[in-house]
Amino acid sequence: MAAIYLPPWRIDVEARDGVWVPLPQSRLARLAWRALEAAGAPRPASLGLILSDDRELATLNAEHMGKTGPTDVLSFPLLPISAYPRHAGHDPPERSPPAFVLPPGRRPHLGDIVISVQRAAEQAAQGTGGQAGDVSWSVGDELCLLLTHGVLHICGWDHADEEESAAMRALERDLLAAL
């Protein structure tokens, strides 16, 4: 695992054994930093990124989402949605501090994102990548989209509501265009 410090955040990147990662971990950490910044994530804080395969994502998808089969990305946020600023489709009552107290000098952990690099590669190869599932691009591009998507979920964004979905997709495009 690599702990990459990009103040005010620490991004912990872990690639599971046998998982090929098409981009440098430092590039992924910088992209996560940009998404955290854009979403107004609490600072300082840490974020976990786990690069895995379809088998692990299928297990997590069944355990946590009640769905069968692998998915491309899952986010496990640890802070309440009210810890993040308002955005389209999301109007928390007011910002609140983390729900738990940490010892002095410790940063809160925002949560973890688990991405199937195997699924990203398959989606890229089949031309089923991108936001609408109709883009043919590199595995690295698909991985960047999935990471950005996962970070926004950590920060309270969702795509269940049409207005919030459109805003989330637009922010993802803006963040990816800045690469």
Residue 131: per-residue pLDDT? 80
Q: What is the mean pLDDT of residues 69-96?
A: 80
Angle separating helix axes 139-154 and 117-126, nearest 10 degrees: 130
What does pLDDT average to over the chain?
90
More confident residue, 162 or 143: 143
Q: Are strands 73-77 and 109-116 parallel, antiparallel or unpaired?
A: antiparallel
For residue 33, is pLDDT > 90?
yes
The number of domains in the chain is: 1
Per-residue confidence at 90, pLDDT binned at 50, 70, 90? low
151 lies in which domain range?
2-97+105-177
* Ordered strands of the 9-15 beta sheet: 2-6, 9-15, 45-52, 109-116, 73-77
Residue 136: per-residue pLDDT? 78
Beta-carbon-side half-sphere exposure of residue 7 (alpha carbons within 13 Å)? 0
Q: What letter represents residue 158's amino acid?
A: D
Residue 165: per-residue pLDDT? 87
The model's pTM is 0.91
Q: Looking at residue 48, which CATH number applies to its domain?
A: 3.40.390.30
